[in-house]
Amino acid sequence: MSLLARFVLIVLALLSFLSTSALAAEWRDVTEDRLLKAEGDAANWLMYNRTYSGWRHSPLAQVNAGNVKKLVPKWIFAGGTLGDQQMTPIVNDGVMFTTSTSLSLNRVQAVNAATGDLLWKHDRKIPEDVGALVRVIPHNRGVALYKDKVIFGTLDAYLVALDAKTGKQAWETKIADYADGYFMSGAPLVAKGKIVIGIAGPGEMGPRGFIEAFDADTGKSRWRWYSIPAAGEPGSETWPADTWKIGGGAVWHAGTYDPSTNLLYFGTGNPAPWIADMRKGDNLYTMSAVALDLDTGTLKWHFQYLPNDAWDYDTTAEHHVIDVVRNGQTRKAVVQANKLGYVYTLDRVTGQFLSAVPFIKSLNWGGPDPATGKARENAGRRPTMGGPPVEVCPSLLGGTGWQPKVFNPTTGYLYIPANEFCMRYAYVADLAYKRGQLFTGVTAEHFSRAEQAGVLRAFDVNQNKVVWEWSNRTPLISHTLSTAGNLVFQGTAEGRVVAVDAKDGKELWSFNLGTPQSGGIISYAVDGKQYIAVAAGGTLRSQVWFGKEPKWADAARVNYSDIIVVFGLSD
């Protein structure tokens, strides 16, 4: 090796050491108190939904409706993988933590949030024989922070903690056997020293879903709650014979939490297989809102949105913790806009049904009883085994999908990335369970009769109605952000990120990312400067979903790359 080459290596090593040393010197632990007070910590984004309430609203207002046209890219970071990019960046005092995935690895990175410089990278190799669903949709939705640790779930069903200052592994816990089709994709939630996370995979692979809590310091399990009861347990009577053993019920999404009730709120997914005739009954506790005691995991209440789901309308979206006005009275509530095409409001203490209002127009499966919330289906929309396809609206991607909705406490609006499209849906003639293989049994083709299939809608949670909308050609399978600057940011499958006025939906600014926007959009500040970070790329599934619809052909052909683009006001 030449003298010059040695010198370059020494300089690079020194720079790496200085970057890591600077991180170690400046790191501030993410304590329980800081997580409880995250709403007032405007500069940081300390958890997946920013706060326990699930609002994804930033109090920052330096970037606002009056100057948003001056927003320009400040830096771009490439994660280097080609999995589905569904990650939300997490920021603590100028350090951003991101994840990337592929079929072969889970990657976590620490990045300087002001410059985009890589501070450290941790790669975890994934076995080649992971379940069939992982091979179709390898993704990770982000990390959790607690004290000096970065915690994430893996595609081979482990929970892993890293040292936040160096990226070195501190501990790992095996959660489940990936050979059964289990994997971890959701971002963990940390509360009262516990890491709480749901399991991915069961709704498409068969085994029972669950939510589990772990000691945040050691990774040891504290409790586990199954989304499907075993024989003899309450709710097991809603499953025929032994179908509960392979009944699905994944819990894909990060939960929300109300410290005043000490309750966790989660949405559960669809039962397995997707063929409803093979599991006659209500199939509790799939397709439900569930409230669990954080200390013990005890189920305090549940509300089932759709018994015996026939269409993969899994109701795993976040439940926003919001106080709403009903009949002149303020009610402590949780609000969920889900695949069914309705905004549901439930009492968060008791689970009592308060209301359900549609937020899409392409809707023919049926709807909830306005008094009780119990689902009432329209005739002729359920397929039969081996029968012809039926046309059902919305598509199995839902009136809104897994992408989070956001709530602005000033406007009182819930901003919903909604979809106006349908599907031709059929059951196969025969299906048998095979461990580690897809256990769905359907065919589905998506289509839209509307020219603009994606619609961002503002829903007034007190008036219980849509107040404005902004339309997009392709379905909105992308993320949304609300800020105190009277702005709502929305990504699109065509690769745009736009900013609209939070009060009326007027488009104010846009930028072409060059790759589909699919991950989280957040806002944070470093040294008094506000930034908007957009996670994009890796949307292999959009090419599958949109490929047969001519109106969406442009989005299906967009290149995909795993990137973070960070914007700030021009100097």
Sorted by sequence, the CB contacts under 8 Å of residue 498 that are 6+ apart come out as 470, 489, 490, 491, 492, 507, 509, 510, 511
213 closest CA partner among 190, 196, 188, 227: 196
**What is the maximal distance between C-alpha atoms in the chain?**
80
DSSP assignment, residue 321?
Answer: E
312 is catalytic: yes
Q: Which residues pair with 457 in a beta bridge?
A: 416, 469
421 closest CA partner among 404, 446, 401, 441: 446
334 closest CA partner among 16, 536, 34, 53: 53
Report the C-alpha dihedral over residues 244, 246, 247, 252, rounded to 10 degrees.
Answer: 130
294 within 8 A of 261, measured Cβ to Cβ? no
How many Cα atoms within 13 Å fall on the side-chain side of residue 200?
A: 27
Q: What is the 3-state secondary structure (H, E, C) of 63-130?
A: CCCCCHHHEEEEEEEECCCCCEECCCCEEECCEEEEEEECCCEEEEEEEECCCCCEEEEEEEECCCCC
191 closest CA partner among 136, 298, 241, 265: 265
Query: Pairing relation of β-strands 529-536 and 375-377?
Result: unpaired
- 312, 347, 527, 554: the catalytic one is 312
Sorted by sequence, the CB contacts under 8 Å of residue 1 that are 6+ apart come out as none
CB atoms within 10 A of CB 68: 21
472 closest CA partner among 490, 488, 487: 490
Enter the tokens of residue 426.
């059929």
Enter the tokens of residue 539.
């949307």
Q: Give the residue numbers marked as catalytic.
A: 312
